[in-house]
A and B are shown apart, each in its own frame.
Chain A
């Protein structure tokens, strides 16, 4: 195996890791702050992908349609997420763990069927602008030029979230809430409102990631059930509520998948679950998470 093809494999792992990061970042944020494991996250991600396709079709012909449809998908998904939070999730803050899991699980079922009802069963495809139709070569390794955009978008989201958590007042509140919601509430910060916005932000990220996914291949039903479990793995490996953890976790999963496929294609997913289980057994709070939670 020569170095160029290894590098190509690395790049493909990096791309897949970036996609996983975009999906898992919102999941991790929501779990870290609200302690709710959102099974519906990938369904909202898929909904974002369909939204993106719809916006693209509506604006077809405009040169900016392709690029604009991606953030718009994020906002459309965020609107749905906000509605879900206000109508449903708000009622289950104080419920038992299994009830919260069941609610988000049921939401995933409902949203998947809603997608089917709204957009039908045919695959959706967008036509890429000319500038990203040809592959680029990096050190001789071919790379889909759109993947450069994906990796850049991942980097921007990671930096943006990092900046938000480190330098803004709301970021500080969110970080504090990951440690102790009770204490944050006792300081007079309206926790329910923070929850609503964290959930909305998380779903915005999911919808944005869905929009980014569309040009990679066609959008099909059922994509959500495949990716949600991998996103869970990412969050478990990295640690719930940790941005750095999610980043590292998604790169680990992306690269492990990418390189295992080279020599043991059947074992790629098996290996991911072994890593996830091992992390859970040794360090349940993940590589970069914090064990102290109230």
Chain B
């Protein structure tokens, strides 16, 4: 148990040292990695722990981003106040939409989350007077105490994301987290032992959205703007990609996935515009050749090393389709 957190501590120390050794461009990339890591980790609460594929998670990320963006631009609310408000608004949104989503399973869950995601996207896209429509919102600047340089905002993001991830970790290791695993592995049995499966799933959906909202809130001031594209289905695909690359059955999987995906994206887009093509090939190779993601592969090759990094654990394959 002692060594359990060693890996995470090493990662954290690495995250502190890295911005001092790389150029400013890569500090921006690192900030992006952190924000998207929180986004992907929140998505994995639904995917890895609850066993349902959400294809509309960007909706809650976008609601969080727009809450902070609107409050900062239109009402001059300080950013530190905006963050919890973003979490609240994303959670509220998920409380309403998630109520319907958790009634469905499998492909229907995926499509309904996507339909709701597109609904949120079109509302933001069309509501010019309030959200700026497809122009988005510009001029979201980080508060003065963070200055204009890349490093302070990076460390601010690191603190917020670390707190968010620790909170997610505590939730996923709590009895509630184990209930989610039970639901994932066999919802029917879980119901039989007296657990209100739908209510638990609903709560988990809200929790996932709350942290997606927090990740989204960090995005606006980082990027100086928000755009409706943050909520559409292509953006919802990103946490899925990251989680699958990193490994959905481990808590740190989405973090690794975010690091790999964002790093490659920054690298590839610097010399070609065909990043979708490259990312598509990568995803297909990952799905075909290493179904458990990077951490799944490490787990297979070096089981002794990986035992320290526990997480969701392998699923029994519920939802697997029979031919």
Contact A109 B111 (CB under 8 A): no
Known: A266-B126, A266-B127, A280-B108. A99 touches B287 (CB 8 A): yes
Asked if B107 CB lies within 8 Å of chain A CBs, one says yes
Cβ contact within 8 Å between A276 and B321:
no
User: Judging by beta carbons under 8 Å apart, are B119 and A107 in contact?
Assistant: no
Among B47, B118, B322, the residue within 8 A (CB) of A294 is B322
A107 to B115, CA, bound (A): 21
Q: By the criterion CB–CB under 8 Å, are A98 and B240 in contact?
A: yes
Is A169 located at the chain interface by the 8 A CB criterion? Answer: no
Q: How far is the CA of A218 from the CA of B91 in the complex (A)?
A: 43
Among residues 238 to 294 in chain A, which have CB atoms less than 8 Å away from a CB atom of chain B? 266-267, 269-270, 273-274, 276-277, 280-281, 284, 294
- Which residues does chain B contribute within 8 Å of A102, judged by CB atoms? 240-241, 244, 283-284, 287
B276 touches A274 (CB 8 A): no
| A191 & B53 in contact (Cβ 8 Å cutoff) | no
Any chain B CB within 8 A of the CB of A12?
Answer: no
Task: Select B276's contact among A112, A191, A269, beta carbons within 8 Å.
Answer: A112
- Residues of A contacting B233 with CB < 8 Å? 229
Nearest A-chain residue to B241, judged by Cβ: A102
Interface status of B33 (Cβ within 8 A of chain A) = no
Q: Is the CB of B199 closer than 8 A to any CB of chain A?
A: no
Name the residue on B nearest A182 (C-beta): B322
Interchain CB contact under 8 A, B110 and A101: yes
Inter-subunit contact B280/A276 (CB<8 Å): no
Interface residues on A, range: 35 or more
> Quick check: A93 and B323 within 8 Å, CB to CB?
yes
Q: Which residues of B contact A105 (CB under 8 A)?
A: 237, 283
Say whether, besides A88-B284, A280-B112, A109 and B240 are in contact (CB < 8 Å). no
B288 proximal to A (CB < 8 A): yes
Q: Which residues of A contact B103 (CB under 8 A)?
A: 281
Q: From residue B322, how far is it (CB to closest CB) to chain A in Å? A: 6
How many interface residues does B have (CB within 8 Å)?
Answer: 44
Is A225 among interface residues, defined by CB-CB distance under 8 A? Answer: yes
Q: Are B274 and A117 in contact (CB under 8 A)?
A: yes
Report yes or no: B234 in contact with A225, Cβ–Cβ below 8 A. Answer: yes
Interface string of B312-323 (1 = CB under 8 A from A): 000001011111
**Contact assessment for A97 and B53 in the assembled complex, using a CB-CB cutoff below 8 Å:** yes
Tell me if A185 is interfacial: C-beta within 8 Å of chain B. yes
Q: How far is the CA of A91 from the CA of B276 in the complex (A)?
A: 22
In the complex, chain A residues whose CB is within 8 Å of the CB of B17: none
Please determine whether A233 and B237 come into contact, CB atoms closer than 8 angstroms: no
Q: Which residue of the partner chain, among B111, B114, B115, B244, contacts A98 with CB atoms under 8 Å? A: B244
Within 150-196 of A, Cβ neighbours of B (below 8 Å) are at 181-182, 185, 191
Candidates B53, B123, B323; contact of A94 at CB < 8 Å: B323
Given contacts A94-B323, A110-B280, A191-B323, contact A280 B104 (CB under 8 A): yes
Smallest CB separation, A37 vs chain B (Å): 6
| Chain A residues, CB < 8 A from B283 | 102-103, 105-106
- Chain B minimum-CB-distance residue to A270: B122
Asked if B281 is an interface residue, CB under 8 A from chain A, the answer is: yes
Q: List 13 A-B contacts (CB under 8 A).
A: A37-B107, A37-B111, A96-B317, A98-B110, A103-B283, A106-B279, A109-B276, A110-B276, A113-B274, A113-B277, A114-B277, A266-B127, A269-B118
Where the two chains meet, the residues of A that have a C-beta atom closer than 8 Å to any C-beta of B are 35, 37, 88, 91-99, 101-103, 105-110, 112-114, 116-117, 181-182, 185, 191, 225, 229, 232-233, 236, 266-267, 269-270, 273-274, 276-277, 280-281, 284, 294
Beyond A109-B280, A232-B111, 20 extra complex contacts between A and B, CB < 8 Å: A35-B321, A37-B111, A98-B53, A99-B244, A99-B287, A99-B291, A101-B110, A102-B241, A102-B284, A105-B283, A106-B280, A110-B281, A113-B274, A181-B323, A232-B115, A236-B115, A266-B126, A276-B115, A277-B115, A284-B104
7 closest A-B pairs by beta carbon, nearest first, are A113-B277, A109-B280, A106-B280, A266-B126, A110-B280, A109-B276, A273-B119
